[in-house]
Structure 1
Amino acid sequence: MPRPSVRRGTALALSALLLPVLAACGGSEEKKKDEKPEAKKEQGAGELVIYSGRNEELIAPIMDKLQKATGAKVEVRYGDSAELAAQILEEGDRTKAGLFFSQDAGALGALSQADMLAKLPQKSLDKVGAAFRGGEGDWVGVSGRSRVIAYNPKKTEKAPDSVHDLIKPEWKGKVGYAPTNASFQAFVTGMRVLEGEDATLKWLKGLKANDAKQYAKNGVVLDAVDKGEVSLGLINHYYWYEKVAEVGADKVNAKIHFLPGGDPGALINAAGVGVLKNGGQSAAAEKAVDFLLSDEAQNYFAKETSEYPLATGVTSTVKGLPALDSLDAPKIDLGELESLQKTLELLKEAGMV
């Protein structure tokens, strides 16, 4: 169990990202300290409140099926993963959430460090490889996505094999990226964990100095590469596969390159779930976890989002998508991606946000 000082530090770091939302929740921190929370009774399978950092348009169909599978009345509250994690930390014993469905592993790692998540049944944990579940056994990955470099063959014959090459003069003004996007920030956090803060800041400043072009989202970065506005772009793999599925391969100029050698630019992140200790809904929440790891749900994510299914025995049928175990991703504890606040500080120092 983490030391109290670590838990407080994590809570403060995440809460700093959500001051407007926390203020809207009502009541001062001083007042909340004076109130004594009532102990929650376990609600069985009757009701389940899910805080979801995954987009409503994306997961609404599978949430309908989850409700039937669990037998619970399911209420889903949508928002940004980091903001929802901060809200859970602020709510503490009073949290309304029984299950947290995060877009990335970092927010789950933050709640794990804060001792907010319940240990999952071993049978649930065993459905997913150790690389995609929490070291404390309190969260598990549902779907995975790899960082890649998109490139336009009309602009360059091939993409470089490392993100470190992007700060070289040959790529000046030719790279697109989305510094305010959560997936880019998770990648930068991974680089910090792998290579240290000084090296990461040097790379960020180098990318900025090399006139890399900023965009709002991964999809916009891919569009810019496809149109030839830039030669290269940093995105998640599934954006390319979704674009191909939508308009046809013959209408997509861009290609993508999965980086070799454990490069930080090849980070595989995971969307995942954790059961809240204080939610009083563990029975329904654990059923929800098992449903999300079922063949039905795993195949939904593989087909609808082109993400990697993470449950053992389920493989993607997306045409041309390399097998997950063939990727040369960096070795990293995904729970360590929780240190987002320091990443935001580095991005600010580098002049990117």
Structure 2
Amino acid sequence: MKTMIKGILASSLALSGFGYTAVADEEVNIYSARKEQLIKPLLETFQKKTGIKVNLVSGSADALLKRLQQEGRNSPADILITTDAGRLHRAKEAGVTQTLVSKKVEMAIPAQYRDIDMQWVGLSLRARPIMYVKGKVNPSELSTYEDLANPKWKGKICIRSSSNIYNQSLVASILATNGMDKTVEWAEGMVSNFAKPPRGGDRDQIKAAAAGQCDIAVANTYYLAGMLRSSDATQVAAAQKVAVFWPNQMNRGTHVNVSGIAVTKASKNKDNAVKLIEFLSSKEAQIFYGDVNGEFSVRKDVEPSDLLKSWGSFKADSINLSKLGEGNRNAVIALDKAGWK
């Protein structure tokens, strides 16, 4: 047990480094932007199964990418774990990742959830649907993301700011279907319908809806799952006031995104990095994402958890998520033109 615990080094980004030389044959070094409790149990299981020592540094997504760029070929990191296809694409563009070669991973993870050049792969899937206040909104009135720009929703929508990567990726998916002019027009309509300035995280939007500040929130499903499973009674109560509506079921489907993983260009333990990615894409690990993290599996053969099933099945947008990263710049332009702060 002591050996296992020592192997999982939880370090803040403020520390100068891992505190060891990354040359051992049986170790793998991770920079992770995911909350430690969401990934650590899986890393402990991998270490126990393989004997490969896992060393973990956690930090913010942007800070970890900057750190990889600054460290260059001297980086001790073998793996980068981060959230959103947009951030994964940024890592690829920054030249800090390398091609992953693994038939196991290709067979486990559908192509739409992998970079077209295999520079990164998705590990868990999250949807960004419409959440509405029960008793205030009739779900028959809801249909698509595009319809949220309808004046009938004026003063009724809560959503995060334009600087949020989740919103940028949502807009990139809309751009891929509707083009720049229509997307800007839609975003302008959204801004007109805001119930409040777009501040705070996804949980804040759900809480605002529950508190009567708006009737509709746009948020990632795992935040709602986390609130429903929270030990904080106020979060549970707020989450219970909203229901999930899956938009765009008659056309492209609901927007989805991933948390994902990449082998760093500087990896000194590439074989072990590949083994870890293969483990994290296995059926065993994928079940964990639904049962513990409130996320959907990227695998087709893993069913959602009971909580996620309770929201009903849905058609997901089939766009290759690489397109979200590629479209990020234009998404930001569209949001700026619309005055979405």
> Do they fold alike, i.e. is TM over 0.5?
yes
Q: Aligned residue for 1:134? A: 115
Note the C-alpha offset of 1:44. 6.3
TM-score, normalization by structure 1: 0.78
Q: Aligned residue for 1:196? A: 179
Q: Aligned residue for 2:9? A: none
Note the C-alpha offset of 1:287. 1.4
Q: Aligned residue for 2:324? A: 337
Find out whether 1:98 has 2:81 as its counterpart. Answer: no
Q: Aligned residue for 1:110? A: 90
Q: Any gaps of 5 or more consecutive residues in structure 1? A: 1-20, 26-40
Find out whether 1:187 has 2:174 as its counterpart. Answer: no
Q: Any gaps of 5 or more consecutive residues in structure 2? A: 1-12
Moved more, 143-152 or 188-197: 188-197
Contact 1:143–1:272 at 8 Å: present in 2 too? yes
SS in 2 for 1:100: strand
The 2-side partners of 1:85 and 1:287 are apart by 22
The 2-side partners of 1:293 and 1:310 are apart by 8
Q: Aligned residue for 1:165? A: 147
Identity %: 27
The 2-side partners of 1:109 and 1:251 are apart by 32
Find out whether 1:176 has 2:158 as its counterpart. Answer: yes
Contact 1:97–1:276 at 8 Å: present in 2 too? yes
Note the C-alpha offset of 1:172. 0.5
Once the two structures are superposed, residues 58-85 of structure 1 have per-residue CA deviations (whole angstroms, 9 ceiling, x without a partner) of: 2233232233344333222223334433
Contact 1:163–1:263 at 8 Å: present in 2 too? no
Contact 1:144–1:271 at 8 Å: present in 2 too? yes
Q: Aligned residue for 1:317? A: 305
Moved more, 84-93 or 70-79: 84-93
The one-letter amino acid paired with 1:62 is L
Q: Aligned residue for 2:45? A: 65
The one-letter amino acid paired with 1:337 is L
Note the C-alpha offset of 1:176. 0.4
Cα distance, 1:249–1:97 mapped onto 2, change above 3 Å: same
Root-mean-square deviation over aligned CA pairs: 3.0
Note the C-alpha offset of 1:100. 1.2
The one-letter amino acid paired with 1:334 is L
2:209 to 196, 214, 225: 225
TM-score, normalization by structure 2: 0.81
SS in 1 for 2:81: strand
Cα distance, 1:85–1:309 mapped onto 2, change above 3 Å: same
The 1-side partners of 2:115 and 2:42 are apart by 23
Find out whether 1:261 has 2:261 as its counterpart. Answer: no
The one-letter amino acid paired with 1:68 is K
Note the C-alpha offset of 1:273. 1.1
2:221 to 228, 237, 254: 237
The 1-side partners of 2:223 and 2:155 are apart by 22
Note the C-alpha offset of 1:200. 2.2
Count of aligned residue pairs for this structure pair: 315
The 2-side partners of 1:93 and 1:111 are apart by 15
Moved more, 81-90 or 227-236: 81-90
Note the C-alpha offset of 1:265. 7.7
Find out whether 1:50 has 2:30 as its counterpart. Answer: yes
Larger helix fraction of residues: 1
Q: Aligned residue for 1:35? A: none
